[in-house]
Amino acid sequence: MKFALLVSEGPYTHQASDTAWNFASAAIAAGHEVMRVFFYHDGVYNATKLTEPPQDDRHIVNRWSKLNTEHGVDLVVCVAAALRRGIKDEVLAPGFRISGLGQLVDAGIKADRTVTFGD
C-alpha cells in the first residue's frame, strides 16, 4: 500500500509528529511505501535544522531526515505556512524541500491512503 501523510503540528509541542514518524517507520518496516509527508501549519517546524533538543531527548527533525535518506520519503514543507513562520530554504534540514499545496493534492491522488496527524 502507498501512503501519503499530512503533519500539521510541530515537534515537541504535540504528539502528532512522533505518531506520524512512528506510523511511517512501521509502514515501511511492513513493506508499504510512504511516498510523501506534507508538513502544514505548525507542522513546518519539523523541517528546521535550527532545532536542538537536549542530548537525552529524541531528535524528531533528524528522524524525518533519516526517512528521506534511507527510504526516499519525499518531505515537503508548505511554502505559505513556512514563510509565515520564518522558515526558508536556508534553514531546512537535509531531505526537506519547500513547495506548494499542489504537492499535497498530488500525493492524495497518487497514494492509496492519506493519513492526517494533528488538528
Q: Give 41-72 as a DSSP string.
A: GGGGGGGBTT----TTS--HHHHHHHHHHHH-
Q: What is the pLDDT of residues 14-57, one digit of tens each?
A: 999 999 999 999 999 999 999 999 999 999 999 999 999 999 89
Q: What is the pLDDT of residues 55-79, one digit of tens each?
A: 989 999 999 999 999 999 999 999 9
Q: Give the integer Cα–Cα distance in Å for 87 and 58.
A: 22
Q: Give the integer Cα–Cα distance in Å for 49 and 4.
A: 23
Binning pLDDT at 50, 70 and 90, where does residue 119 land? confident
Catalytic residues: 78
Q: Which domains does the chain have, with CATH numbers?
A: 2-117 (3.40.1260.10)
| pTM, to two decimals | 0.96
Per-residue pLDDT at 103 exceeds 90? yes
Triad 34, 39, 9: Cα angle to 5°:
115
- Percentage of the chain with pLDDT > 70? 100
Q: Give the integer Cα–Cα distance in Å for 2 and 33.
A: 5
Asked if residues 28 and 3 have their Cβ atoms less than 8 Å apart, the reply is no
